[in-house]
Chains A and B, each alone.
Chain A
Amino acid sequence: MDWKGRDVISVRDFSKEDIEFVLKVAERLEEELKEKGSLDYARGKILATLFFEPSTRTRLSFESAMYRLGGSVIGFSSASSTSVKKGESLADTIKTVEQYSDVIVIRHPMEGAARLAAEVAEVPVINAGDGSNQHPTQTLLDLYTMKRAFGRIDGLTIGLLGDLKYGRTVHSLAEALAFYDVELYLISPELLRMPKHIIGELREKGLEVHETTDLEDVIPELDVLYVTRIQRERFPDEEEYLKVKGSYQVNLSVLKNAKERLRVMHPLPRVDEIHPEVDKSEHALYFRQVFSGVPVRMTLLGLTLGVL
């Protein structure tokens, strides 16, 4: 696969080889970065970050990645400061911005915006989230975090916890995990179970998938517990929400029965689904996960720019 000029829009566009390749290069870059402090593969290159919707975390991670690669960054962090407010089409914005840059990262509130941007742009486009659709760099950094923590993804038993119905992060992660030989526990309240068609696809691809509503029941089985937020809006009444929220909080007492090697992940920001007391334990992997965003995004920027 020739990566130069390629767009990164959806996990659906990736093969297992693509994923493995990205993870391998990221590992190399992380080591190199540790050794040298900063790299200069992207010297003279400019990244444009177009955030039509605010997202501090993802934007900072991309910007940090570009600087660490030796490149520079231009961009905006909310649509209100741009000519979009004056009614400019997305296509025109993209065609303009690409005159100033070598690669574009876009976050947009509409589903499909990144795909459209990629069709319009000559320079590579990386999707940093299009509405409720895709956020492929999150999925890749999640996989990378697991790979770094365990040395492999094959053979892991992974629990996905929380809102499995609407959560795009867990949907793409599960789809990507289907490339591997893993066992999945889907842990969610009845109301927020993973859609049947996704579970069907996962099983078709050979994954062993278990559904449960009980976290404590399955915690001893897990190598990874991937926690996501449960939103109040999903519930008909406050009482029901509070009950559910309480039974899915990850704290030290819940983790008592876990394997020693269990690692807890979270795409962040968290509210109270993981108690801060877990932060200091060996189980906490979520800050390391944040860190992983940088080498993975360095990799995607470098590969699509063709400078690695």
Chain B
Amino acid sequence: MPELKVEVIPEGTVIDHIPSGKWLKVIEILGLTKPNGGTLLIASNVPSKKLGRKDIVKVEGRYLSEEEVNKIALIAPLATVNIVRDYRIVEKFNVEIPDEIVGILRCPNPNCVSNHEHVTPKFRVESREPLKLRCHYCERTVEGDDILGNI
């Protein structure tokens, strides 16, 4: 019997294994905060074997694509995504860090043009393990806490 901490949904997407406290960032990044965005079920600070504590976000009536969900990989690298149809999980995948990070992270370089002009910040992923990004504009690299601190 699956652990159903929040209500079941008939159709939609369950994003599981989000680090505790990050659910709000997740729905912001995925653009799910809009009033017409459909019903969301949130469980926060749920006990988890893998993470100690975790958040779960359930999106009713929408199937998120891998590409869409990969945007949360920087803050929820271990998230698993479950596609629910007719109350059952029909598909499950892990998020993956995409090759390019667009619009999620601010450049930590205060003198980077992306912090002064009206542009969407953009980074290329130079390495995944350890995670290293390079700003498309100022060409500086960003690593570690500088990544999380600027999301």
| A residues with CB within 8 A of B | 10, 12, 89-91, 108-113, 115-116, 130-134, 197
Contact = CB atoms under 8 A, between A and B. Distances in A.
Contacts of A109: 111
A111 B137 contact: yes
B62 interface: no
A135 B135 CA distance: 17
Interface stretch (B2-10, B36-44, B72-80, B113-121): B113-121
Interface of B: 109, 111-114, 116-119, 135-141
A14 to B, nearest CB: 13
A197 B127 CA distance: 13
B7 to A, nearest CB: 46
Contacts of B136: 112, 115
B138 A112 contact: yes
B138 A116 contact: no
B139 A89 contact: no
A91 B111 contact: no
A133 B138 contact: yes
12 contacts: A10-B139, A12-B139, A90-B117, A110-B111, A110-B138, A112-B113, A115-B113, A115-B137, A130-B138, A131-B138, A134-B139, A197-B141
Contacts of B117: 89-91, 116
A116 B116 CA distance: 11
Nearest to A111: B138
Contacts of A91: 117-118
B121 to A, nearest CB: 10
Given A89-B118, A91-B118, A116 B139 contact: no
B118 A112 contact: no
Contacts of B137: 111-112, 115-116
A90 B113 contact: yes
The 4 nearest A-B residue pairs measured at CB: A112-B137, A111-B138, A112-B113, A112-B138
Nearest to B135: A112
B114 to A, nearest CB: 6
Contacts of A111: 109, 111-113, 137-140
Contacts of A132: 111
B85 to A, nearest CB: 41
Given A10-B139, A111-B113, A131-B138, 15 more contacts: A89-B118, A108-B113, A110-B113, A111-B112, A111-B140, A112-B136, A112-B137, A112-B139, A113-B113, A115-B137, A116-B117, A130-B113, A131-B111, A132-B111, A197-B141
B112 A110 contact: yes
